[in-house]
C-alpha cells in the first residue's frame, strides 16, 4: 500500500478528517484518534488490537506488524504501510470506526455498506 492509498482509505470513512495527535499529523473521527502515519518507520498505528491479537500478528507477519517500546502498554500494533494489504488496513479501521464514531453515523454507514 502507498501513503496515498493509506490516506484515501482513512478519509473514506464518514466524518474522518486529518488532524493532529500529540503534535503529529493524524486522522480523527468524531474528534477521536483514528490512525496516523509514523514517518519515522513508515508505519500506521492500528488501535483496538488486543495484546493477544498483536502477538499473533507480529508472529505471523513480522515484516508487516511490529511494535516500539512506546506502544507496548497500549492495545495497538504498528504496521509497515508498504507491506500492509489495503483490505486489511480497511478492516482494522472499520473496527476503530465502530468504536469512535457516533452510533447514528455507524448505523447509517452500515446501512449504506449493506446496500440499503
Coil vs helix vs strand at 73: coil
pLDDT of res. 21: 83
Residues of the chain with pLDDT below 70 are 116
Structural domains of the chain in order of their starting residue, each with its CATH number:
3-102 (3.90.1150.30)
- Chain centroid to CA 33: how far? 9
Distance from first CA to last CA of the chain, Å, rounded? 30
**Cβ 50 vs Cβ 75: under 8 Å:** yes
Q: pLDDT, tens digit, for every residue of 45-61?
A: 999 999 999 999 999 99
pLDDT of residue 61: 97
**Whether 35 contacts 27, CB under 8 Å:** yes
Q: What pLDDT score was predicted for residue 116? A: 57
The pLDDT score that the predictor gives to residue 24 is 83
Cβ neighbours of 104 (radius 10 Å): 8
Amino acid at each position: 500500500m502507498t501513503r496515498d492509498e493509506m490516506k484515501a482509505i482513512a478519509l473514506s470513512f464518514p466524518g474522518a478528517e486529518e488532524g493532529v495527535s500529540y503534535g503529529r499529523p493524524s486522522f480523527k473521527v468524531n474528534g477521536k484518534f483514528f490512525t496516523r502515519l509514523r514517518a519515522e518507520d513508515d508505519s500506521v498505528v492500528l488501535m483496538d488490537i488486543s495484546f493477544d491479537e498483536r502477538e499473533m500478528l507480529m508472529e505471523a507477519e513480522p515484516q508487516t506488524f511490529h511494535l516500539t517500546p512506546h506502544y507496548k502498554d497500549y492495545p495497538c500494533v504498528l504496521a509497515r504501510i508498504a507491506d500492509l494489504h489495503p483490505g486489511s488496513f480497511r478492516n482494522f479501521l472499520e473496527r476503530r470506526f465502530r468504536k469512535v464514531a457516533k452510533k447514528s453515523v455507524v448505523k447509517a454507514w452500515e446501512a449504506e455498506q449493506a446496500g440499503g
